[in-house]
Amino acid sequence: MTLKDSKHLNKEKQAALERLKGFVSGTDLQTFVLSGFAGTGKTTLVKFLAQYCREQKIPFTLLASTGRAAKVLSKKSGFNAITVHRLIYSIETSELDEASKTKKIKFKLNLNNNPEDMVYLIDESSMISDKPLSQPALTLFGTGSLLEDIFTYIDKRKIIFVGDNAQLPPVNAKMCPALDTKYLSDKFKIKTTSVNLKEVMRYSEDDCISKNAQDLVRIIHSENYNSRLSIRVTGFNYTKVYSLDMIMIEEYVKAFKKFGYDGCIFLTLSNKLASIINTQVRSLLYNNTPDALVPEEVLMVQQNNYMLDIANGEHIKILGITGNEKQRAGLTFVPVKFEIKSLIGSRTLEALLIKDYLFLQQSKLSNEAEFKLTLDFIMRMKKKGIDPKRNSEDFRDMLLSDPYINAIRARYGYAVTCHKAQGGEWQHVYIILERGLWHPGDISFKFKWLYTAITRSEKNLYFMENYAIN
C-alpha cells in the first residue's frame, strides 16, 4: 500500500490519519496517543503516516517496546523499527556487590543528537512502565522509569504512543500510563491529544477472535470484573477445543512442522508450564533426543544482547553446534551457529549460548549465577592488567565484547508466556488457561491476560478444555 491508498480507508481511519498528519506537520502539541483494541487498524495508520513523513521530509523514528514488536512493526509498515531500549540506553557500569553476592549493571540515558523536528512513534506502548520494579533491580536502566526516561531523551520533540490499553499493563502496574492522556498531561506537564479507534478492520464481525475480544474489552473498560471469565467458541470457524493436553501438543507439533515458528505459538501463564510443554514438543519433534540442542531448534531470546544486536523476545533458529561445550563459573556454554530474521532478510551469527538457561522454570538466572559469572570476568580482566576502577573505559569495552558475559540467554521457543508474546502475531495460537489466572491479587488480570492471548492470533485459536470455554 502507498499513501494514495489511504483514500480507501473508512471515515474513522481517514479522520485519524488527518489528525496524525496535522500533529507531525506543526502544532504546539507534543504528544499524540493513538489507541484502539486489536484489529482496529493502528498499524495501517502508522504505515501511511510513515509514508507521509517521508514524502514531506519530516524525520521520524519507529520504535517498539520489545524486539518481537519491532520486527512485526517493520514487516507491516515497510520501515525499519528498533526497540526503545536500543535507542535511548547504553551500558555504563557493571559492578559486584560482595555483601549481597549480586551483579549490578547500569545503563545510562544516551544524548539525543537528532533534529529538533524529529518525530518518534512507539508501538505496543501499553507495555511502557512509569515506575521502577518493587524490588531493587540488578539491571537499572536510567532512572528506572522508562516513560520518564523517554520524555527526558526526546526533550521537546514530538512523540506518538500507539497501543491497546485493554492488553496486559506493565509488570507491577494496573494501567497503561503511556496511553493515558490525563496521566501524561498531569505528570509531565505536556500538551497531549488522542484518537481512539473503534471500528475493526482485521477480523470479520462473526469472527471468534473479534467477538470474544470485544466482549472482554467491554468488561475491561467498564471495570465489571465480577463477570464470569468466558470464551465462546461454539459455532465459530478456525477454532478448536482439545480434551487432552497431549493431543493438543501433538496437533501443535504438526502445525509447527508445516508453518514454523513464525506461524504458530503455544501460550501459557507460567514459565513452569511453558517449560513442561517445550519438553514435550521437543520429544515429538526430535524423536526423544537426549541432546539439549539440535539443528533447526527454535529458541526465544530472554535478554537483550547488545554485542550481537539481538533483542529480548526475538526467535532464533539453531543451525548447528560449532564446537565442544565449555565450563566457566559453574555454567555450561555451547558454541552455536544460528539464524535470526529481520526486515531485510536473515542474519547468520556464531556465539556462545548458556545451556543452563534452556531448562529454567523461572524467568532468569539466579543472582548467585550472575554474580559468579561476573566475578570470573573481573578476575580474567585483572590477569590482563585491566582493573574496573583504574581502566574503566578498557573494562567497559571488554565487558561489551566478552563472549561469556554476552553469551545468549534463551529458552526453548515453542511455548512461551503470554507476557513474552506481547507484540507478536501468529496465524495459529494455542492457549491453556491455568489455575493461576483465577487467583491473582488484581481481579482484572485474568480478563486482560485472556484478551492479550487471543489477540496474538491472526486467524486460528486452539484451547485446552476448561469450564470458561463454551
Predicted pLDDT of residue 177: 93
pLDDT, tens only, 80-136: 998 999 899 987 776 666 665 566 778 889 999 999 999 999 999 999 998 775 444
pLDDT, tens only, 395-432: 888 888 999 999 999 999 999 999 999 888 899 999 99
Predicted pLDDT of residue 69: 87
Of the candidates 53, 36, 54, 40, the one whose C-alpha atom is nearest the C-alpha of residue 9 is 40
Predicted pLDDT of residue 135: 47
Classify burial at 277, counting beta carbons within 10 Å of its beta carbon; exposed 0-12, middle 13-18, buried 19 or more: buried
Mean pLDDT of 2-6: 69
Predicted pLDDT of residue 101: 59
* pTM of the full structure: 0.88
Classify burial at 134, counting beta carbons within 10 Å of its beta carbon; exposed 0-12, middle 13-18, buried 19 or more: exposed
From its phi and psi, is residue 305 left (phi > 0), alpha (psi between -120 and 50) or beta? beta
Distance CA 88, CA 106 (A): 13
Distance CA 13, CA 385 (A): 62
Share of the chain above pLDDT 90, in %: 57
pLDDT, tens only, 45-75: 999 999 999 999 999 999 998 888 888 898 8
Classify burial at 93, counting beta carbons within 10 Å of its beta carbon; exposed 0-12, middle 13-18, buried 19 or more: middle
In order of 62, 105, 132, 308, 421, the CA distances from 87 in angstroms are 10, 18, 19, 15, 22
Give 205's pLDDT tier (boundaries 50, 70, 90): low
- Chain-wide mean pLDDT for the chain? 89
Query: Are 17 and 9 spatial neighbours (Cβ–Cβ below 8 Å)?
Result: yes
Distance CA 264, CA 248 (A): 13
Of the candidates 184, 242, 173, the one whose C-alpha atom is nearest the C-alpha of residue 431 is 242
Question: Does 21 have pLDDT greater than 80?
Answer: yes
Query: Are 197 and 40 spatial neighbours (Cβ–Cβ below 8 Å)?
Result: yes
**Residue that is written with C-alpha cell 566475578 in the block:** 375
HSE value, Cβ hemisphere, 13 Å, CA-based, for 339:
11
Q: Which grid coordinates belong to 451?
A: 484478551
Question: Does 440 have pLDDT greater than 70?
Answer: no
Mean pLDDT of 336-362: 88
pLDDT, tens only, 222-266: 888 888 888 999 889 899 999 999 999 999 999 999 999 999 999
Q: Which residues pair with 109 in a beta bridge?
A: 89
pLDDT, tens only, 310-332: 888 889 999 999 999 999 999 99
Q: Is 388 helix (H, G, I), strand (E, B) or coil?
A: coil
